[in-house]
């Protein structure tokens, strides 16, 4: 805790909040969700400061308020006996999500099929993912959670409730964003900036994001600033290719392989079935593109 307090004293509030989130991951969901809200508020202040849309005095007051809230969180964490790593949780290693000897993995599969857009075979894709995991050798260490007809609100709520390691989205997309559903079941575009900010909030628990939607490579690149592994599509992907990739990817994860191997497994699954589109899925990491 003292390392995190030192970050706050040094004016590194953003780093301190990231460390708190890493420390709380999987330990106390109530405090974790509170920390996420503080992180979101701090991110909004930073963006407003960069764009000049907040007065200096207001920025100072709001930052001080979040600082006090962070210190209060640390006190609650100590009261609950929560112990943090001395490095403040900053040592996130890629691929830890697949260390089956150490821990399991939670996969959140989300799907959106707005009724005013063309029909996709989402049920077949999710069924293939589920069946692939059920027959995998590490099935007892994998928890698969499904959310259908996701709206902007239910998508964020699922991330809050589940704290997944892998997030999979199946649905429509275009270069300006992905399509979720609104309250009437029609399409609602989630802009690039909003999608990036959403995953920035939940970065401490997520190792991989799969955007199985057309033209999602750009969004994947933005999200990869915060998430170690992100998969997007560089053009429109046929249903058959999308399904084959997902099944191949999650079967490899279910066998205990790491994310780069699982990505290649998904690509090979497309090609070995003679389906067009093997070059469409793209794996983007925080330091390289494949």
Give the burial string for 85-119 (b: 16+ CB within 10 Å, else e): eeebbeeeebeebbebeeeebbbbbbbbbbeeeee
Quick: pLDDT tens for 144-157.
Answer: 999 999 999 999 99
Quick: pLDDT tens for 158-178.
Answer: 999 999 999 999 999 998 899
Task: Place 12 in a pLDDT band, splitting at 50, 70 and 90.
Answer: confident
Average pLDDT of the chain to the nearest whole number: 87
pLDDT at 49: 79
Provide mean pLDDT across the span 261-269: 96
Percent of the chain exceeding pLDDT 90 equals 56
Quick: pLDDT tens for 43-55.
Answer: 888 777 777 888 8
Task: Place 272 in a pLDDT band, splitting at 50, 70 and 90.
Answer: very high
pLDDT at 89: 40
Cβ distance 168 to 144 under 8 Å? no
pLDDT at 91 over 90: no
How far apart are alpha carbons 25 and 32 in whole angstroms? 7
**Closest listed residue to residue 18, CA positions, set 27, 7, 29:** 7
How far apart are alpha carbons 145 and 215 in whole angstroms? 25
Q: Left (φ > 0), alpha (ψ -120 to 50) or beta: where does 256 sit? A: left
pLDDT at 94: 46
DSSP state of 151: B
Task: Place 207 in a pLDDT band, splitting at 50, 70 and 90.
Answer: very high
pLDDT at 290: 41
Give the 3-state secondary structure of residue 133: helix
């Amino acid at each position: 805790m003292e390392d995190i307090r030192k970050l706050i004293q040094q004016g590194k509030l953003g780093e301190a909040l990231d460390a708190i989130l890493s420390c709380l991951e999987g330990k106390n969901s109530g405090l974790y969700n509170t920390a996420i809200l503080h992180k979101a508020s701090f991110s909004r202040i930073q963006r407003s400061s960069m764009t000049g849309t907040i007065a200096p005095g207001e920025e100072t007051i709001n930052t001080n308020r979040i600082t006090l809230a962070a210190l209060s969180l640390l006190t609650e964490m100590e009261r609950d006996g929560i112990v943090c790593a001395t490095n403040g949780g900053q040592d996130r290693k890629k691929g830890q999500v697949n260390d089956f000897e150490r821990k399991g993995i939670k996969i959140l599969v989300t799907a959106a099929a707005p009724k005013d857009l063309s029909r996709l075979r989402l049920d077949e894709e999710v069924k293939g993912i589920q069946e692939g995991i059920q027959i995998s050798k590490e099935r007892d260490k994998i928890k698969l959670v499904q959310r259908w007809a996701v709206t902007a609100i239910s998508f964020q709520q699922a991330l809050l409730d589940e704290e997944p390691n892998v997030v999979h989205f199946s649905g429509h997309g275009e270069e300006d964003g992905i399509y979720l559903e609104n309250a009437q079941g029609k399409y609602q575009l989630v802009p690039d900036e909003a999608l990036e900010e959403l995953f920035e909030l939940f970065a401490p628990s997520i190792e991989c994001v799969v955007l199985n939607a057309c033209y999602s490579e750009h969004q994947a690149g933005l999200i990869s600033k915060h998430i170690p592994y992100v998969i997007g599509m560089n053009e429109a992907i046929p249903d058959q290719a999308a399904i084959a990739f997902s099944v191949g990817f999650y079967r490899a994860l279910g066998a205990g392989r790491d994310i780069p191997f699982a990505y290649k497994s998904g690509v090979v699954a497309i090609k070995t079935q003679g389906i067009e589109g093997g070059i469409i899925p793209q794996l983007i990491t925080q330091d390289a593109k494949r």
